Structure 1
Amino acid sequence: MKTLAALAFSSAMTLLLAGCAAGPTGTNRPLRPIANPSEVIATELAFARAAKDQGTWTAFRQFATRDAQWPGPQWENVQAALKDAPDPAKAIEWEPDQVWSSCDGSFALSTGPALHPTGKRTRFVTIWQRQDNGDYRWVLDQGFDLEAGYAEPEMIAARVADCPEGRSNRVARVAKARRAATWASGQSDDGTLSWTTELRADCGRTLVLNAMQDGAMHEVFRKVAKAPAVPANGTRPSC
């Protein structure tokens, strides 16, 4: 896996390639509805570093919103599921290899390989939401099998959905970050990025990401998770 220093370099290059920027976070300057995939990458890297330095579940709680969800295998609130959960002795390690952002930067998807303490490799998929102070926090996290023969790319791909025709950036402030009863499916504030998760009866899942391209919404990312294995007690999970 790449070192974090190399990833930080890739993040900086992504900013140049994407040509997108936003005002500094945590200030009183108005936020503008502009995509900033490099900020999503930087936050993902900070999340991964926190897992190493502070503990996996501590980092998950820190970087998740209060209503963040994941499949366990049924949808559950992450903060409730991880309340008082002890951190594992060895952290999960991960890094992004691709980011998709809405035109207005309100939501973004990050994905990449993850290495578990058991040695298992998976692909994470995370939906990030820009908060009222400009910081990104995640609202949805899922895991999938890593592709067979996965080859690590040289750069982190940063992609931005097309902006709606006639959109103006002359907006004093972006809309307040909304909270949701469920984040399994949703869309960005400007509608240029949307995602759906089908949770099947056997707890298998299919996630699809759509982005605005050439004036229409097109599928740009899809991942399928098989039904989870039957646990040792022999009771197959049902969703």
Structure 2
Amino acid sequence: MILRMIGLTAAALALVGCASGPRFPRERYARALAAAPGAAQPSRIVAREIEFLKAAEAQGHYAAAREFAAPQASALTSTGETAATTWGSALDDQEEVGPWSPTIVWMSCDGRLAVSEGRFENRQKLVGSYLTVWQRDRKGDYEWLHNAAALDDPQPPAKTAPGDPGPGAIVVPGLVSIDGNVTDCKIGEAGALPAEPGYKQVLSPDQTLAWRWAYIGDTRIFEVHALTDGEWKRVIEKRWPANVGEGN
């Protein structure tokens, strides 16, 4: 599903390194925060998610999902890949939206493809994780291309985020900060990323970032591979049982 939000903490807007997960060279964060026009800027994905979430609150879930979707967008649900036009029609624009926010963004060097990983809370106060693939259109805006989500199983104890400023702030467990990353810009000796049998794959036009997914048995598998430090690394991996809900 495309997830929902009512506010965003100041801490969530800071593109700084997460306390958990792999560490990367300081110069990559410098590039991730670059403000030069045309440069790969993970902060633009964060801004786009905020726009999308505000639209969902104002217009309704389906209307916002349709507005921000790429023409070929699809949701990777527990029952398989579903075109956004079909999947989105089941969303209820009258229901209250719940909070969500990205925690990690990976962007290709050319800035044309990005993947955000984040946390959400649904209207039943259950929490989970999501992945969204973004592609830049001809106008320079980012549209969502693929989305996948699953509730935590088991659910963590309810708690507020550290430094919670009060009403209106996101209180999704596990949210600390947003980790912005940009891939290397030259393939060099690493070469092209080999295909993986049984997986579907989207590769950035500059071939520095790859998004893969597969349905194997009763498991949904999602991976992000990035060209970093001169080699291909799997920087995000999710394995969700197919019977775990998407968080409606």
Q: For residue 118 of structure 1, report the CA deviation from its aligned partner.
A: 1.6
- 1:195–1:17 Cα change, 3 Å: closer
* Cross-structure match for 2:167: none
Q: For residue 2 of structure 1, report the CA deviation from its aligned partner.
A: 9.8
What is the SS of the residue equivalent to 1:185? strand
Q: For residue 8 of structure 1, report the CA deviation from its aligned partner.
A: 7.3
* 2:105 is the counterpart of 1:86: no
- Counterpart mapping for 1:180-219 below 5 A: 185-202=201-218, 204-219=219-234
Q: For residue 22 of structure 1, report the CA deviation from its aligned partner.
A: 5.1
Residue identity (%)? 30
* Cross-structure match for 2:163: none
* Cross-structure match for 2:73: 68
* 2:45 is the counterpart of 1:40: yes
**Amino acid corresponding to residue 99 of structure 1 in structure 2:** V
- Alignment check: 8 A CA contact 1:115 1:122 kept: yes
* 2:32 is the counterpart of 1:18: yes
**Amino acid corresponding to residue 228 of structure 2 in structure 1:** Q
Gaps of 5+ in 2: 18-27, 157-172, 189-198
**Amino acid corresponding to residue 68 of structure 1 in structure 2:** A
CA deviation map 1:144-192 (0-9, x unaligned):
3448755321x311011111168xxxxxxxxxxxxxxxx9521111111
* Cross-structure match for 2:166: none
* Cross-structure match for 1:164: 186
TM, length-normalised to structure 2: 0.72
TM, length-normalised to structure 1: 0.74
User: 1: CA distance between counterparts of 2:244 and 2:90?
Assistant: 26
What is the SS of the residue equivalent to 1:118? coil
User: 2: CA distance between counterparts of 1:3 and 1:85?
Assistant: 21
**Amino acid corresponding to residue 203 of structure 2 in structure 1:** Q
Q: For residue 7 of structure 1, report the CA deviation from its aligned partner.
A: 5.6
Farther off after superposition, 134-143 or 76-85: 76-85
Gaps of 5+ in 1: 24-31, 167-182, 231-239
Q: For residue 224 of structure 1, report the CA deviation from its aligned partner.
A: 0.9
CA deviation map 1:191-217 (0-9, x unaligned):
110011111243x20101100012221
Q: For residue 17 of structure 1, report the CA deviation from its aligned partner.
A: 6.7
What is the SS of the residue equivalent to 2:214? strand
RMSD (CA atoms): 3.1
- Counterpart mapping for 1:221-236 below 5 A: 221-228=236-243
User: 1: CA distance between counterparts of 2:244 and 2:179?
Assistant: 33
What is the SS of the residue equivalent to 2:129? strand
* Cross-structure match for 1:77: 83
Q: For residue 86 of structure 1, report the CA deviation from its aligned partner.
A: 3.4
Q: Which has the higher contact order (CA 8 A, sep 6+)?
A: 2
Q: For residue 116 of structure 1, report the CA deviation from its aligned partner.
A: 0.7
What is the SS of the residue equivalent to 1:209? strand
**Amino acid corresponding to residue 235 of structure 2 in structure 1:** V
